[in-house]
Amino acid sequence: MDQSLRLLFDRALADEPEPAPGDLAGQAMATGTSLRRRRHGLMAAGAAGLAAIVALGVVNVATPTERSLPPAPVPAGFGMLLNPACESPVRDTATDVSIFLTTDITDQQRSAMSQVLHADPAVRSLAYESREEAHARYQRMFEDAPELVAAVKPSQLPESFRIKLTRQSQYANLAARVERLPGVDEIVGSECPAGTSVRPAN
């Protein structure tokens, strides 16, 4: 993930002080934080981040030299689509893990990762989510913001593996085993209430 976008996302998740005058990115993230309070935490922060990306994308599309380029992928941090009932990101108390995949992952790498995860003793359950499935869930989560829904295509959202851990203490060890596998973009731990997970039922 682009480090500047990662920084903006992290600031959106935290209760940051008021940004300095003229800091447009900081003001956008402050707006995202305000929205987050009204729309159950992380989900709204993602919407604010996506709104900023969409606005930048509109500017780029309007530039003649950029017309032929495909839409930029939404970084995993903005497109994680986690269940707002869960607390994310967390480490020591994680009950669930989302492993977001790179845009250029091969079928062989995806298959190998699936086999590794299925065999890992920390994994209680494992589900794969395609870009199309992530997009369908994104549409449901942001159905009250049609401008965001219309601006994001399936190809811009990351594929992922969604994991339910056997024990809360196992996130760090699992992440260490998985983070260097080819095709891994980002690993996010979440603490979810009993009976829920980072992948809400369709």
Q: pLDDT at position 20, please? A: 56
C-beta atoms surrounding 66 within 10 Å = 11
Instruction: Just give the CATH number of 3-190.
Output: 3.30.70.3040
Using one digit for the tens of pLDDT, what is the confidence trace for 99-114? Answer: 999 999 999 999 999 9
Q: What is the mean pLDDT of the chain?
A: 74
C-alpha 202/C-alpha 185 separation (Å) is 25
Q: pLDDT at position 71, please? A: 54
Using one digit for the tens of pLDDT, what is the confidence trace for 46-95? Answer: 544 554 444 444 334 334 444 444 555 555 444 456 788 899 999 999 99
Q: Give me the sign of the Cα torsion angle 176, 191, 41, 128.
A: positive
Using one digit for the tens of pLDDT, what is the confidence trace for 126-139? Answer: 999 999 999 998 89
Q: pLDDT at position 191, please? A: 95
Using one digit for the tens of pLDDT, what is the confidence trace for 126-181? Answer: 999 999 999 998 898 889 999 988 988 999 899 999 999 999 999 999 999 999 99
Q: pLDDT at position 58, please? A: 39
Structural domain boundaries in the chain: 3-190
Q: pLDDT at position 126, please? A: 97
Task: Say what percent of the chain tops pLDDT 70.
Answer: 59
Which ranges of the chain would DSSP assign to H, the alpha helix? Answer: 3-13, 24-38, 42-62, 76-79, 107-119, 131-141, 146-151, 171-178
Reported confidence tier of residue 8, pLDDT bands at 50, 70, 90: very low
Amino acid residing at 180: R
